[in-house]
Chain A
Amino acid sequence: MIEAECPRLLSGCRTKYDSVRGNWVLLAPERAIKLDEIGAAILAETDGERSLGGILDALAAKYNAPREQIAGDVVKFLTSLRDRRMLEVT
């Protein structure tokens, strides 16, 4: 995944705040994935319009974190969703 590419959750994949358990979840075909704070923060910026680079900029600014430090985690997380057919990049 390169920074110019735009990640987007596929149809039928959406996040929701699970008020019973007190955390965010990613709902997808036959899967409900509990999101930790980092996962939820990444998907909150993954709006289908922003590029990977834009997502990194937004997260770095919002959480006052070094961009290169978070890049690895973000790419790893989004790639794992792509491998599981929950996300595509265009």
Chain B
Amino acid sequence: MDAPAPETVAELTYGPPIAMLAELTHRCPLSCPYCSNPLELTKRDGELDTETWVDVFRQAAELGVLQMHLSGGEPASRRDLEDLVSACREHDLYSNLITSGIGLTEKRLTGLKERGLDHVQLSLQGVDAEMADLIGGYKGGYSRKMDVAGWTTALDLPLTLNAVVHEKNIDRLPEMIDLAVTMGARRLEVATVQFHGWADRNRAALMPTREQAKLCGQRVAEAREQLKGVLVIDYVPADHHADYPKPCMGGWGSTGLNVVPDGRVMPCHAAHTIPHLVFENVKESPLADIWWNSSAFNAYRGFDWMPEPCRSCDRKARDFGGCRCQAMAVAGDAAATDPVCIKSPLHAQLQEMAQADAEGDGELTYRVMPKL
């Protein structure tokens, strides 16, 4: 069979979103040096109220969203979290609580399960109190996480651990995997720090070396094989050391959307770093209209926006051109070829920068939260 001509695969069809990330609040008790929330945070009085969130969940379900990720900041900082979980169940949305564990008690978690919570994703900053509390900047955080993990599995709620890995903890991956198995987690997400926002300020302290990244990838592959049927491992590699970009978001505006605390709707977590994009707000527009018609969602959909060498690249239907926010940050142009790609003129420069950062050993700059 002949391979289809590039023109015939160029029509990327996109459907309704599968998942929505509801960033309920920017408030958070931790001060992780790789915080992925924007540099400018929304204050408590700028957050959507309960009624508006519930209505957005209804609209999301009607639009075709299947999974609702309740995130933040720390979603447990919202006193109405219980009502929001109930709303997910009412609209038959699969609810996933993405939490640091701080702010949860056994009683509260039991209540959330009774309201219909489907899944808990618990963040892990390290494999012992010393490392975890150093990175999270919150004394006693690790101990509370262990409690939350125990309550979660005791309630027969599925548990995923999410470990952000970086120069300082990536070598301890085998311990993280052991810990996940011991805690009874079904899934482990190993995500290398994405260098956007606050993490970019800590590049020298957090960038893993090429050798560290390679070893981590090998260890993940081995553990997946050994732990088949015991633990599922999802892995986000260190793309600064890669030759091809990640398929960011599975393609811009193709599978998921983010609603941030003040109600603006974005195609990805870091899209606000692209200055020319205008994000519409659920307080003013229907969610479906934003998804299908807004300029921000259509900006990098499909393949038409691509420059060369992406447009004629045979990998474009595999990685969708990579990460627009990374193109913005490094190339100064969100439509440029992702600088991670070996075909980008900036590839060598990006790799040199990554290597220099990996060899450097900067101090951690914590994200100390202002009173929100």
Contact = CB atoms under 8 A, between A and B. Distances in A.
Interface of A: 10-14, 16, 18, 20-21, 25, 27-30, 32, 82-85
Contacts of A20: 16, 62-64
Given A16-B92, A30-B234, A21 B118 contact: no
B67 A12 contact: no
A12 B94 CA distance: 9
Interface in B85-128: 92, 94, 96, 118-119, 121
A16 B187 CA distance: 22
B228 interface: yes
Interface stretch (B34-42, B45-53, B152-160, B342-350): B152-160
A19 B157 CA distance: 26
A85 B231 CA distance: 7
B66 A18 contact: yes
B94 A32 contact: yes
Contacts of B118: 12, 14, 27, 29
Interface of B: 15-16, 18-19, 62-64, 66-67, 92, 94, 96, 118-119, 121, 156-158, 160, 186-187, 189, 228-232, 234
Given A18-B66, A21-B64, A29-B187, A12 B158 contact: yes
B121 to A, nearest CB: 8
Contact of B186 (A18, A25, A32, A85): A85
A10 B158 contact: yes
B247 to A, nearest CB: 16
22 contacts: A10-B158, A12-B118, A12-B119, A12-B158, A14-B118, A16-B66, A16-B92, A20-B63, A20-B64, A21-B15, A21-B64, A25-B66, A27-B118, A29-B118, A29-B119, A30-B67, A30-B96, A30-B189, A30-B234, A32-B66, A84-B232, A85-B187
Contacts of A14: 94, 118
A27 B16 contact: no
Contacts of B157: 11-12
Nearest to B16: A20
Nearest to A25: B66
Contacts of A29: 96, 118-119, 121, 158, 160, 186-187
B229 A32 contact: no
Nearest to B69: A30
A76 B215 CA distance: 32
Contacts of A25: 66
A30 B250 CA distance: 14
A18 B65 CA distance: 9
Nearest to B189: A30
Nearest to B93: A27
A10 B119 CA distance: 12
B67 A32 contact: yes
A27 B67 CA distance: 8
B160 A30 contact: yes
Contact of B16 (A11, A12, A21, A30): A21
B189 to A, nearest CB: 8
A8 B306 CA distance: 46
Which 6 pairs across A and B sit closest by C-beta, in order of nearness?
A: A12-B158, A20-B64, A85-B186, A27-B94, A29-B119, A32-B66
B234 A27 contact: no
B156 A11 contact: yes
A16 B64 CA distance: 12
A18 B64 contact: yes
